[in-house]
Structure formats: C-alpha cells, structure tokens
Structure 1
Amino acid sequence: MSQIASIYQAFLSTKGASTDSRSDNKDRMFFALKGANFNGNKYVKDVLKTGAAYAVADDPMLQDTRNVFIVEDVLSTLQALARFHRRQLNIPILAITGTNGKTTTKELVAAVLSQKYQIAATAGNFNNHIGVPLTLLSMDKSVELGVVEMGANHIGEIDALCQIAEPNYGLITNVGKAHLEGFGSFEGVKTAKGELYHYLKKNNGLVFINNDNPHLTQMAQGVTNTIEYGISQGMVTGHLTSEHPFISVKWQIDQLTEINTPTQLIGAYNLENILSAICIGHQLGVDTTAIHQAIATYTPTNNRSQFIQSARNQIIMDAYNANPSSMQVALLNFANIDTTNKVLILGGMKELGSDSETEHQKLIKNIESLPVSKVLLVGDEFKNMLPQKSIFQHFSSTDQLIAALKSAPLENACILIKGSRSNKLESLLPYL
C-alpha cells in the first residue's frame, strides 16, 4: 500500500482535515504546514494532546510520535490526498475561476444546483493551493456534485489546482486587471485563467462560456465542448428589467418562455453571474421553477454587493475586494442609480505592481465625471493624487476616516463602499 493510501485509510476514520493548530482539531487529521512565518510541526504534539486523531508532518524529529505520518512535504501530501479522495468520490466537479464575480457566481450556482443535488461548495474564499484541497477533503460520500472556486495570482496556479480537483465542468466569469504583480500583464491574466479551458479541452470536459465576452471567446478557441450564455445569444439569454436598488432579470432557455426573476443583488454586473448559474443549472437538470426560486431567494453576504439600509443612510457594501475592472463596473452601476447625495468611499487597490499609480490616477479621473457629492479615499495609493475639488478627501487609513465620520457623520446619503480587502472598509459600517 502506498503512503498516500495508508494516510487515506486513517483519514477516513477522522472528522476531516485541519491546517490550523488554533482551531478545534478533535478527531481530525492535522496537516503541519510551513510558511515564511510559521511551522506547523511545532504544534503537532499539542494538537494530538488536545484530541487530534492523526497528524501529517515533515519534521523527522517527530517520527517516533504516535499517530504521526512523516512525509517529505506536508503541502504536496495534502494536495495528493485531496486528489486521491476526489477520485474515490468519483463525482462531477465544476470549477469556477475569473478576475471578478467568482465567489458570487459560485454561491449562485451552488444555490441553483442544491435544488436538485446534495452539493458541496468552496467555503468563503478557500480557493488557493491549500483551500482547494481542504474543500475536496470536506466532501463525503453523501455529496453528489462539487463546486470548487479557484483563485490564482501567478501563471500555472489554475493548472495546478485542476490537477488536484480534476474538474469535469468549468466556468471563467471574466478576465480583468488584477494581481498584476504576479501575472505581469493583462495577457498574463488571460494565460493564467485560460489554464482551466486548456485542462478541460485536454480531458474532454465541458466549458460554460459568456458569449458576450470577446476575451473569453478568443481564449476558448479550439475548445469544442462548450455551452454558451449571454444577453442575445446562447442556450440561456437574458436582460435586466430593473436595477434600483436590486436587479431583476428576464431570461429564457433556448428562446422559449421568458421568466422574470427578482433578485436581492445590487449591480448590473451581476447579470452575467446570474445567467451563468441558470445555464449551469439547466444543463445539469435543474428545472426552471427551481432555478427561478434559487436565484430569487439568494442573499449575498460577506460584503459582496450587499444593500444595507442603516438608520441614516443607504449603503452599497462591496468591499470584499477591488481591482481596476471591478472598480469600473461598480462605479458605472453607482452612477446609474437614480438618487441624490451620492457618496463614494473607496479604498486603494492592491497587488497592481508597477501599474498601481497609473490605475489609481485613471480611477480618480473617472470619478471626476461622476454625479457624486463627496469622495472619501482611503490608503496611501491615493496620496498626492487629489484633484483641487472640495468633494475629494483623503485618509491614510480606515481608522482615520472613522475618526472623521465620528465628528462629521454622513446622513441621508447613498454610499458606495469599495476597496481591496486589506483596507477593512467593513469596519466603517457602525459609523454610517
């Protein structure tokens, strides 16, 4: 029996995998991962004492410790075990990646598919080289279909995740300027995300593709097994019927009866996410009534396109992340909202490398033409960029903005909050 097979037999007797020594590890298999600032091997004996069933470590000093598997590298073992488990489950896996919208799309797809199947989907943003294996290992024999979100900030990562998850279906939501430090350029982004198309083409998988996106159609050239959706062409077509504050979508399958679905989502940019969920649901056998119900009742969480009515203001909370393309569509949507006293609270965009200054200058130029009464900018990225207009204010940190809001509260405003995750703009909510 191979070492992975031996570890797997032990894994099946546990309550699942863990990589955090601080969490509840009782009856779990602990993987002692290492990073630049931590070494999980140091905590192996502690987690075993507090109830972990087994540990996987790569420190030879632990080889005589009971219930510890000593391996060459813990991370690659975690990944190999996840692939082994995926093969034992032998269920269809749908992979979702893209620059923007992948988490919202994943949640919409999961809501639709759960109308017919017992599904398991990526929790939160567990979408990297550690999160994807943990997602797979969280699936048990009751799961009929898996939905796996895949994130990346370097070329080669999506391919590596595909080698672990071995998806049968795939969707790229879109491609835009993000993580340019890692990808090098927009072409690098397309190459990286396109690794999902390449894997599915090579392994006879099925690609769902937005027919309205020229980048995606160009990237998918040579992929023959595709199903398309879009505004005017594809198996599923649809358009917005209203968008204040929540969007409603009228859609149809194969040009048959139109269905009008109200949603609890903010932003016209969510139309393509909704159409992809409808398309995937229909292809995998979910009936139209169930699809309508799933989308109508889906409520966004985690600071993604959330509409919040506070005691003093209306707030569009979209502060989970930001890059030039997601910022552009959010601002366009905000400009189209028919209301007065609009206020922008924007945090700096991270990981743009040498393009950072140029992209932030473009953003400010774009804002200058928008119908807004106040612009509050947070982060060093905006330093020394403010136009000579009284509506613009700059704050070096979110805490500094909180102090300003305490002394001069915003009232009766419609506020868009958007910025990269590290700005922690969600901490503004109690003061709005």
Structure 2
Amino acid sequence: MSQIADIHKAFLSSKGVSTDSRNNNQGVIFFALKGANFDGNKYVKDVLSNGAAFAVADDYSLKGIENIFVVDDVLTCLQELALHHRRYLNIPIIAITGTNGKTTTKELVAAVMSRKFNIMATQGNFNNHIGVPLTLLSMNKTVELGIVEMGANHVGEIELLCKIAEPNFGIITNVGKAHLEGFGSFEGVKTAKGELYQHIKNNNGKLFINHDNEHLMGMASGIENRIEFGVESGFISGQTTKNDPFIAMSWQTEDGLSYHIQTKLIGSYNLENILSAICIGHTFNVKPEDINAAIEDYTPTNNRSQFIQTAHNKIIMDAYNANPSSMQVALNNFSEMDATNKLVILGGMKEMGDDCITEHQKLLDTINKLTFEKVILIGTEFKAINTYNAIFYEDNESLIKDIQLKPIQNKSILIKGSRSNKLEELLPHL
C-alpha cells in the first residue's frame, strides 16, 4: 500500500483535516503546512498531545514518532490526498471559475442542486491550492455531488486545481481584467481561465457556457460536449423583467415551457449567474419548481450585491471585490435603476499592475458620462488621474470624519471597491 493510501486510511478514521494548530484538533489529522512566517512542523507534537489523531509533517526529525506521517512536502501530500479521496468518492464534480460572479454562481448552483442531491460546495473563499483540497476532503460517502469554486491570479493555477479535483463538469462565468499583476494581460486572463475548458475537453467532461459571451464562445471553439444558455436561445434562455432594485426574470426551456422568478439579487449582471444555475439544475433534472424556489430563497451575503436599508439611506453594498469589468457593470446597472439622489462611493481597484492609472482613468471617464448626483472616491489609486467633479479621500477615516460633520441622508448609494478597502466600515455612518 502506498503512503498516500495509508494516509487516506488514517484520514477516513479521523474526524477530518486541520491545518491550524490553534483550532480544536480533537481526533483530526493535522497537516503541518509551512508559510513565509510559520512552520506547522513546530506544532506537531503539541497538536498530537492535545488530541489530534494523526499528523503529516515534512520535518524528518519527526520520523518514527507514532501517528506522524513524514513526507517530502506537506502541501503536495495534502493535494495528492485530496485527489485520492476524490477518486474514492467517484461523484460528479462541477468546477466554477471566472473573473466575476463565481462565488454567487457557486452559491446559486449549490442552492438549486441541494433541492435534489446531498451536495457539498466550497465554503467561503476556499478556492485556491489549499482551499480546493480542503473542500474535497470535507466530502464523505454521503455526498452525491460536489461543487468546487476555483480562483486564480496566475497562469497554471486552474490547471493545477483541475488536476486535484478532476471535475467532470465546468463553467466559466466570464473573463475580464483582474489580477493583471499576475496574469500580465487580458489574454493572460483568458489563457488561465481557459485551463478549465481544456481539462474538460481532455477528459470528456461537459461544459456549461453562456453563448452570449463572445470571449467564452471563442475559448470553447472545438469543444462539442457543451450545454449553452443565453438571453434569447439555448438549452435554457432567460430575460430580466424588472430590476428595481431586485431582479425579476423569466426563463424558458428548449421545449417552450416558461417560468417566472422574483429574486433577492441586485444587478442585471446577475442574470447570467442565475441562468447558469438554472441551466445546470435543469441538466441534472432538478424540477423547475424546485429551481425557482431555490433561487427565490437565496439571499446574498458578504457584501456581494446586498441591498441594505438604513435609517437614512438605501444602499447597494457590493464591496467584496472590484476590477474594471465588475466596476463597469455595477455602475451601468446603478445608472439605469429607477432611483433618486444617487451617490456613488468607489474604492480603488487592486492588483492592476502597470494598467492601474489607465484603468482607473477609464473608470472615471465612464462615470463622467453617467448621471450621478455625487461621486466619492477612496484610495491612492485615484490620486494621479482626472477625477472630474468627484470628491477624493485618501482613506475611509477621512470620509467618515466628514460624514460625522455633515451626515449623508435620503440617498440611493452604490458602494463598490476591492475587498482590501474595507468599505463596509462606512455602513454604520450611512
């Protein structure tokens, strides 16, 4: 029996995987990961003495100690164990990636699929080279279907995650300008996200694809095993019927049946995320009434397109992430909404590399053409550009001080920015 098989046997007898020595590790198998500022090997003995069942380490001085597996590299072992476990489970895995909307799509797909199957989906943002293995290892034999979100900021990362998760179904929500420091260019983004398509093609899997997206259609050229959806036609089609502030929509099957949904989602850009979930659910024979109920019951959290009514203002809180494409659609959607006294508060976009000034200027050029009563900009990214009539603040604290002196009231507010801006700090003052 190979070492991975031995570790998998130990894993199955344990209470799960831990990578943090500070957790309650009673009965778990502890993986002693290393980072720039920590070395899990130093805590292995303590974790075992505090009740862990097993540990995996790559410090050879620990070799021979009971219940410790010593390997060449703990991270590689974690990934190989996840692959071994995925093959042991032998269930359908749906992989989801994309520049924008992948988490919302993942949550919608999970909501729909859980109406028929016992599913397990990525929790939080566990979508990288550590998070994907942990997601797979959170599944047991009662799970009938897995939904795995895959994030990346460098070419090659999606390919690695596909080798670990071996998805048989895949969807790319969209491709846009994000993490340009790592990808280098928009073409780099397409290459990186396209690694999912390549894996699906090479392994006879099935793609779900928005045929209204010309970039995705071009990337999927030559892949025949796919199911398309879109606004006008496809296996599933659908249209927004209202967006004020929540999306109402209708959707149709290929055989002409039609349904209507009132969602709790804001932003017409979420239509493609909803259609993705409908298409996947319908492919897996989830009943239409269950699809509709799942989507209508879904409420976004985590500062993702949330509608918040405060004592003084109506707020669209969309500050989990930001890049040029997501900024553009959020601003256009807000511009088109039937609301008065519109205020936009934007935080700077991160990881834009050499394109930082250019992309922020494009953003402000767009805003200048739209009709907002007032625009507030936060962050040094806006410092070197023409901000037109917008009001600039270095940081949240500076804006909060001004709000305390002159409260903002009776406004419809869009708050949008990269996660590191922590724009949610503004909410108590609005």
TMscore range, shorter length: over 0.9
In the alignment, which residue of structure 2 is the partner of 1:273?
Answer: 273
Q: CA deviation at 1:397?
A: 1.8
Query: Is the aligned partner of 1:85 residue 2:85?
Result: yes
In the alignment, which residue of structure 1 is the partner of 2:372?
Answer: 372
In the alignment, which residue of structure 1 is the partner of 2:257?
Answer: 257
CA distance in 1, matches of 2:407, 2:28: 48
Q: CA deviation at 1:406?
A: 2.2
In the alignment, which residue of structure 2 is the partner of 1:112?
Answer: 112
TM-score norm. by structure 1 comes to 0.98
Matches within 5 A, 1:185-224: 185-224=185-224
369-378 or 358-367: bigger deviation: 369-378
State whether residues 386 and 394 of structure 1, in contact with CA within 8 Å, keep that contact through their aligned partners in structure 2. no
Q: CA deviation at 1:388?
A: 4.9
State whether residues 357 and 384 of structure 2, in contact with CA within 8 Å, keep that contact through their aligned partners in structure 1. no
TM-score norm. by structure 2 comes to 0.98
1:368-416 deviation line (CA, Å, top 9, x unaligned): 1221122221111111335352xx2222222332232222221111111
Query: Is the aligned partner of 1:181 residue 2:190?
Result: no
Q: Tell me: CA distance 1:50–1:309, structure 2 relative to 1, closer, same or farther (3 Å).
A: same
SS in 2 for 1:110: helix
CA distance in 2, matches of 1:38, 1:397: 31
CA distance in 2, matches of 1:325, 1:288: 32
State whether residues 247 and 262 of structure 2, in contact with CA within 8 Å, keep that contact through their aligned partners in structure 1. yes
Matched length? 430
Q: Tell me: CA distance 1:388–1:148, structure 2 relative to 1, closer, same or farther (3 Å).
A: closer
CA distance in 2, matches of 1:160, 1:387: 41
1:222-254 deviation line (CA, Å, top 9, x unaligned): 101010000012000010000001001100111
CA RMSD of aligned residues (A): 1.1
In the alignment, which residue of structure 2 is the partner of 1:395?
Answer: 393
SS in 1 for 2:52: coil
Gap regions ≥5 residues in structure 1: none
Matches within 5 A, 1:15-414: 15-389=15-389, 392-414=390-412
CA distance in 2, matches of 1:339, 1:243: 11
State whether residues 32 and 41 of structure 2, in contact with CA within 8 Å, keep that contact through their aligned partners in structure 1. yes
CA distance in 2, matches of 1:388, 1:424: 24
State whether residues 230 and 237 of structure 1, in contact with CA within 8 Å, keep that contact through their aligned partners in structure 2. yes
State whether residues 237 and 255 of structure 1, in contact with CA within 8 Å, keep that contact through their aligned partners in structure 2. no
SS in 1 for 2:289: helix
Q: Tell me: CA distance 1:403–1:38, structure 2 relative to 1, closer, same or farther (3 Å).
A: farther
State whether residues 58 and 72 of structure 2, in contact with CA within 8 Å, keep that contact through their aligned partners in structure 1. yes
CA distance in 1, matches of 2:415, 2:56: 42
CA distance in 2, matches of 1:399, 1:64: 55
Q: Percent identity at matched positions? A: 65
SS in 1 for 2:120: strand
Q: CA deviation at 1:154?
A: 0.7
Gap regions ≥5 residues in structure 2: none
SS in 2 for 1:12: helix
Instruction: For 1:157, give the aligned amino acid.
Output: E
Q: CA deviation at 1:255?
A: 4.4
SS in 1 for 2:346: strand
State whether residues 386 and 393 of structure 1, in contact with CA within 8 Å, keep that contact through their aligned partners in structure 2. no
Instruction: For 2:425, give the aligned amino acid.
Output: S
Instruction: For 1:173, give the aligned amino acid.
Output: T
Instruction: For 2:108, give the aligned amino acid.
Output: L
Instruction: For 2:398, give the aligned amino acid.
Output: Q
